[in-house]
Amino acid sequence: MMRFLLLFSRQGKLRLQKWFTPVSDREKKKVIRDMVLLVLARQPRSCNFLHWRDLKIVYKRYASLYFCSGLENNDNELLALEVLHRYVELLDKYFGNVCELDLIFNFEKAYYILDEFLMGGEVLETSKVAVSASMEEADTLQETMEEYMSKPTY
Partner 1 sequence: MPAVSKGDGMRGLAVFISDIRNCKSKEAEIKRINKELANIRSKFKGDKALDGYSKKKYVCKLLFIFLLGHDIDFGHMEAVNLLSSNKPAGGYLFISVLVNSNSELIRLINNAIKNDLSSRNPTFMCLALHCIANVGSREMAEAFASEIPRILVAGDTMDSVKQSAALCLLRLYKTSPDLVLMGEWTSRVVHLLNDQHMGVVTAAISLITCLSQKNPDEFKTCVSLAVSRLSRIVSSASTDLQDYTYYFVPAPWLSCKLLRLLQCYPPPEDGAVKGRLVECLETILNKAQEPPKSKKVQHSNAKNAILFEAISLIIHYDSEPNLLVRACNQLGQFLQHRETNLRYLALESMCTLASSEFSHEAVKTHIETVINALKTERDVSVRQRAADLLYAMCDRSNAKQIVAEMLSYLETADYSIREEMVLKVAILAEKYAVDYSWYVDTILNLIRIAGDYVSEEVWYRVIQIVINRDDVQGYAAKTVFEALQAPACHENMVKVGGYILGEFGNLIAGDPRSSPLVQFNLLHSKFHLCSVPTRALLLSAYIKFINLFPETKATIQEVLRCDSQIRNSDVELQQRAVEYLKLSSIASTDVLATVLEEMPPFPERESSILAKLKKKKGPGTVSVTDLEDSKREGGELNGGGERGPDTAAMASSNASTPSPSADLLGIRSAAPVGAAPASAGSLLVDVFSEAGPAAPSAAVNDDGFLRDLEQPTETCDSLLVEGSGDSE
Q: Among residue numbers 63 through 102, which ones bind partner 1 (CB under 8 A)?
A: 63-65, 73-74, 76-79, 81-82, 85-86, 88-89, 91-92, 94-102
Using alpha carbons only, give the angle 64, 70, 76 rounded to the nearest 5 degrees.
Answer: 105
Question: In this chain, which of 2, 5, 36, 71 binds partner 1, going by CB under 8 A?
Answer: 36
Of 132-151, binders to partner 1 (CB under 8 A) are 134, 137-139, 141-143, 147-148, 151
**Count of positions on this chain that bind partner 1 (CB under 8 A):** 85
Contact 103, 91 (CB under 8 A): yes
* Closest to 49 (Cα-Cα) out of 4, 17, 80: 80
Neighbours of 35 (CB within 10 A): 24
Site for partner 1 in 11-30 (CB under 8 A): 11-14, 17, 22
CB 27 → partner 1: shortest distance, Å?
Answer: 14
Least distance from partner 1 to the Cβ atom of residue 31, Å: 14
Site for partner 1 in 101-120 (CB under 8 A): 101-102, 104-109, 111-112, 115, 119-120
Buried b / exposed e over 75-94, threshold 16 CB at 10 Å, is bebeebbbbbebbbebbeeb
Closest distance to partner 1 from the beta carbon of 23 (Å): 11
Q: What angle do CA 133, 138, 139 make, to 5 degrees?
A: 100
